[in-house]
Amino acid sequence: MNRLQANLLLTLAAIIWGSSFVVQQIGTGELGTIAFTGARFLVGALVVLPFAVKQFLRVDQKERKFQSSDWLGLIVTGFVLFTAAALQQHGILRTTVTNSGFLTALYVPFVPVLGLIVLKRKVHFSIWPASLCCFLGTYILSGAQQVDLVAGDLWVISSTVFWATHVMLVGILASRTRAPLVVAAVQFLVCGCIGFILGFIVESPSLSQIIGAAWGICYIGIFSVGMAFTLQVVGQRFTPAADAAIILSSETIFAALGGMIFLGERLSLLQLSGGVLILTSILAVELLPMTRLGKPRPLS
């Protein structure tokens, strides 16, 4: 798979995630945040598991043996994913879809910053202005002056550090293991088991609450988790983490388009300009590295 194909997979993941914000807010019923997070990731794990087992057997037997450090990394990734998803879900229930979509985009500039500080990884110069423009575009697209911070927003903001960390870990493990479906399935299982067990201990959900949230669990579990997160893992094997974060931020645009198509919402010219700014940033990250400007000059 080449870089362009990988980026198309990431774009498809963003489209699916963009359609999921509303469902995450209204599809939980009376089920608690932790239990809902665990249930949707267990459903996603079941979707991917048959394909992951087949890929694991092929890679482990023919390409490279899985090591204990691989499994440890996958477990840590599952913990990080659970923390990010639970914090975001808790915040979404206590703020607006507009605010949550906008604030989640904070993870975009965090990814290259964390990569530079923690992993000492340098990125193409276009990443820095593109990351800031993506965040600015998301702010404009979300309505700018209409974003009034409330208590739930702090939970969403706190989740962005873990989302940024998750993007980095996924890129590392997908490339290292050469088994993106295994990466997806294991992190889903870890995340789902933590949420399911902790949810029953802390929230004690009833059967009626689980049934009431069943459609939301299935929709998010199958599409947002099983499909979109798996597409993310597959795509990130062939795309740098910072690039992936910017491309995935386009979920905000698709969330807005979904509102226009299915809910009759309308965007102002200012908000549309925010969407254009995000798309311009994505194109810059995709195209600039291939130009003469983006290539290093030979030493004289």
Amino acid 300: pLDDT: 35
Q: Is residue 124 part of a domain?
A: yes
Residue 110 contacts residue 50 (beta carbons within 8 Å) = no
The pLDDT tens digits for 2-32 are 888 898 999 999 889 877 766 766 667 788 8
Give residue for tokens 């933590």: 194
Range of the domain at 210: 3-287
Q: How many domains does the chain have?
A: 1
Q: Say which amino acid occupies 135.
A: F
Q: Is residue 192 part of a domain?
A: yes
Q: Is residue 295 part of a domain?
A: no
Amino acid 289: pLDDT: 65
Q: Which residues of the chain have pLDDT under 50?
A: 147, 296-300
And the tokens for 53?
Answer: 């087992």
Q: Say which amino acid occupies 57.
A: L
3-class secondary structure, 294: coil
Write down the pTM of the prediction: 0.79
Q: Is residue 299 part of a domain?
A: no
Q: Is residue 7 part of a domain?
A: yes
Burial 114-144 (b: 16+ CB within 10 A, else e): bbeeeeeeebbebbeebbebbbbbbbbbbbe
Q: Is residue 292 part of a domain?
A: no
